[in-house]
Structure 1
Amino acid sequence: MLRMQSHTLADGRGACAREVMVAGIRTGYLESGEGPPLLLLHGNEGTAHDWDAIAPAMAPGHRVIALHLPGFGITDPLPDARPERVAGFVWDFADTVGLGRPAVVGHSAGGLVALHAALQQPARVPRLVLIASAGLGRLIDVALVLKARTVLGDADALVRRLPGISEVSSLVLSAWYFRQPWRVPLSAWAYRFSLGHSRQFMEMSLQALRGSVGWTGQKSTVLPRLRELSMPVLVVWGALDNVIPAWQGCHALRHLPDGRLQLIPVAGHMPHLEASAEVLEALRPFVNAGSGGKEAGWARGIPSRAG
């Protein structure tokens, strides 16, 4: 059964907020536009609304689907939240809503899910975009290691439930994630503040973090398998990322048969929120080229700018 309601994106244009059953799992997603499919996968401590600045710009000419991953938004959690299992769920979702061969974009933990999805069914992914992706190395912010492996994670979840603390905590985290917080839309700030009041959201975020981060850093890395990806891959990274260092994206490029890299100079871990224009400058021609358009201004490995 499919349920649908309207949702307003960052630029004021409408999107459909939809709900569908996928293998017995209630699943929510946002849909806009028509044309070749584009599937957006958010990271941990995020939802489909993380793409509200990207989706409307890509909707002209594309059927854009921003999925609430299991346990986030209105999507129910999976019994097994390993990235490869979530990737299998993504393909079940794609089959349910009629996405044949979507270009796939993943951020952070969603990037690792996107990588597993591409490895599982490479023929169905014409183009892959990884934004500050997890799974390309072990190193990660030590604060996340402590949060994942010590009682600090539980303490943080408890403290955030106190009146006013959630907003303060969100501001502190944003100062760490963003380098240009004044460029993040007010609607995104408001939404992220509201997430801090959701007990399920906070518990799922901590569970996902503990499942992916150990004392030595990221538990799962697909770096040795990147050579299996024959499709064009665009790697986008904020040069000032404090969470996952940008050099991991540079290193991953050496393992990709057809890889491109775009570094955003003054951006942190969530460039699609604080530097959406720069991300779109790289994303739009790359994805459009896979839809029959002309990909201009790209050199092998590193994009060049025309004009």
Structure 2
Amino acid sequence: MALTRPVTLNGTPLSYVDFGGPGAPLLALHGHFGRARGWAALAAALAPGHRLLALEQRAHGRAEPVADVRPDAYLADAAGFLDHLGLGPLPVLGHSMGGAVAYRLAARRPDLVTRLVVLDAPARNEPPVLDPRPWPRRAATLAELHRLLAERVGPVTGYFLENAVEHPDGWGLLFDADTLLRSQWALLGDWWPDWLGSACPALLLHGEESTVLPTAQAEEMAARRPHTELLSFPGLGHWLHDEEPAGVARAVGAFLTGRHGLTGRSGLAGRSG
């Protein structure tokens, strides 16, 4: 049974979801606009061999408002979380911004990370960013919020609707638009030293239709970092774990257990670097 537990990291009250089970622990880090509970499908697919622990990161979900959304603040939270629970070293998985936190954690705290799984997170993060300020603030029903949000973000609406809650004046999203806009801008730039700064085995999962991680950069990331396998999924975009959860879960499970011959959504072999 999944349990949400409070945790205070670096003076900031946060929370995490412990999906439970007898398996080896695995840390999962969501991306911008994500939620810890968004890893539920992956946690179920990896059980009982793995016990997934998902940190709800600062400025996300029901976390209290914070001013500091620099990449180093997210990194300190992830390291502090593992130190707090005394769980390292263990595999760490992250999507997008969470993927950057994961590979920076592996570089800065190699004592905490045994294997690295990165979902569509670039080593060099370029604009544009996703501006949520024009998104609907309130809607009369959840269905109406879904419809209005779909007009903005398209078919990946479910990822963002993990933030949907009912307020006294209607349905809305939990995150603060201005804060997450600042957080995205803070992540822009060159993170190649951190991507190349660890030596543990790594799996880079990439959606070939992604607008965040270009295929050419994904291939360069795998080629330049030793012990890295690139698995590209044709037809999928940046939110590949929401678009093809079963395929992503199979790839992650195979990597965590040391199996090889990973295949993408259309049966194409992942590229190795």
| TM-score, normalization by structure 1 | 0.74
Residues 118 and 248 from structure 1, CA distance in 2 versus in 1: closer, same or farther, beyond 3 angstroms?
Answer: same
Secondary structure of residue in 2 paired with 1:127: strand
> Does structure 1 residue 132 correspond to structure 2 residue 107?
no
Secondary structure of residue in 2 paired with 1:64: strand
Residues 244 and 173 from structure 1, CA distance in 2 versus in 1: closer, same or farther, beyond 3 angstroms?
Answer: farther
The structural deviation recorded for 1:205 is 2.0
How many Å separate the matches in 2 of 1:234 and 1:37?
17
Structure 2 matches for 1:104-119, cutoff 5 A? 104-119=92-107
How many Å separate the matches in 2 of 1:208 and 1:138?
13
Name 1:216's counterpart in structure 2: none
> Does structure 1 residue 281 correspond to structure 2 residue 250?
yes
Residues 226 and 255 from structure 1, CA distance in 2 versus in 1: closer, same or farther, beyond 3 angstroms?
Answer: farther
Residues 137 and 200 from structure 1, CA distance in 2 versus in 1: closer, same or farther, beyond 3 angstroms?
Answer: closer
> Does structure 1 residue 198 correspond to structure 2 residue 189?
no
How many Å separate the matches in 1 of 2:186 and 2:222?
26
Secondary structure of residue in 1 paired with 2:162: helix
8 A Cα contact 2:33 2:160, kept in partner: no
Secondary structure of residue in 2 paired with 1:205: helix
Structure 2 matches for 1:142-291, cutoff 5 A? 142=128, 144=129, 147=131, 154=133, 156=134, 160-163=136-139, 166-175=145-154, 178=156, 191-194=162-165, 197-198=172-173, 200-212=175-187, 219-289=188-258
Residues 224 and 94 from structure 1, CA distance in 2 versus in 1: closer, same or farther, beyond 3 angstroms?
Answer: closer
Give the one of 31, 34, 50 matched to 1:46. 34
8 A Cα contact 2:30 2:98, kept in partner: yes
Percent identity of equivalent pairs: 28
The structural deviation recorded for 1:138 is 4.0
Q: What letter is aligned with 1:204?
A: T
Name 2:69's counterpart in structure 1: 81
Cα deviation code 1:230-254 (max 9, x no counterpart): 1011000111113432332112112
Cα deviation code 1:159-211 (max 9, x no counterpart): x22436743342134426x4xx8xx6xxx675354498136443432231232
Give the structure with the higher percent helix: 1
The structural deviation recorded for 1:42 is 0.5
Cα deviation code 1:104-136 (max 9, x no counterpart): 1111111111121111111321100110114x1
Count of residue pairs the alignment pairs up: 258
Give the structure with the higher percent strand: 2
Secondary structure of residue in 1 paired with 2:111: helix
8 A Cα contact 1:84 1:116, kept in partner: no
| RMSD of aligned alpha carbons | 2.7
Q: What letter is aligned with 2:185?
A: R
> Does structure 1 residue 35 correspond to structure 2 residue 23?
yes
Residues 190 and 115 from structure 1, CA distance in 2 versus in 1: closer, same or farther, beyond 3 angstroms?
Answer: closer
Q: What letter is aligned with 2:150?
A: L
How many Å separate the matches in 1 of 2:153 and 2:163?
10
Name 1:10's counterpart in structure 2: none
| TM-score, normalization by structure 2 | 0.83
Secondary structure of residue in 2 paired with 1:230: coil
Unaligned runs of 5+ in 1: 1-13, 148-152, 213-218, 290-294
Residues 24 and 84 from structure 1, CA distance in 2 versus in 1: closer, same or farther, beyond 3 angstroms?
Answer: closer
